[in-house]
Amino acid sequence: MKGKVEDGSLVTLEPCDTDQLQAGDIVLVRVPGNIYLHLIKAINGQRFLIGNNRGKINGWVGHHCIYGIATKIEAP
């Protein structure tokens, strides 16, 4: 299964209201020591379960760890 964002893709990010996020959104998220694009898998209040499109679950993050939402993805 391919990822939703391939290496080298140009990604447009915009600020987001975390109250408007949904499962399936691609977000820029800070996890200990790194910043990644991740897929929101589930939402529980102000906590977001993040993972990738290949089935890996990375864990829960708070709303304060999300910096933006991907609004456009252009293949390399």
Task: Render pLDDT for 49-68 as a digit per residue (tens, 0 to 9).
Answer: 999 888 889 999 999 999 99
Q: How many domains does the chain have?
A: 1
* Domain contains 49: yes
pLDDT one-digit tens code per residue, 14-27: 999 999 999 999 99
Instruction: Write out the residue range of the structural domain in which residue 67 sits.
Output: 12-74
Which pTM was predicted? 0.88
CA–CA dist 51, 39 (Å, integer): 5
* Domain contains 18: yes
CA–CA dist 66, 46 (Å, integer): 11
